[in-house]
Amino acid sequence: MGPAKFPLRNPDWKTLQAYLTDDTVNSFFMAAKASGKPVDISGAAAKLNYTITTDQVAVVVPLILTKYGSGKAVSVAVTFENSLSYFTIAHTGANVTANVFVDI
User: What tens digit of pLDDT does each residue of 15-55 get?
Assistant: 666 667 888 888 888 888 888 899 999 998 999 899 999 99
Average pLDDT of the residues in 57-67: 93
Evaluate the CA torsion angle 9, 5, 92, 29 in order and state its sign.
negative
Taking the CB of residue 54, how many other CB atoms lie within 10 A of it? Answer: 19
Strand ranges across the sheet with 77-80: 39-40, 77-80, 100-103
Alpha-carbon distance of 90 to 22, in angstroms, equals 10
**35 or 11: which carries more pLDDT confidence?**
35
Give SS3 for 51.
coil
pLDDT at 99 over 60: yes
Q: What is the pTM of this model?
A: 0.64
Per-residue model confidence as pLDDT tens digits over 68-77: 999 999 999 9
- Helices marked H in the chain — which ranges? 22-35, 41-47, 54-57, 63-68
* % of the chain with per-residue pLDDT over 70: 83
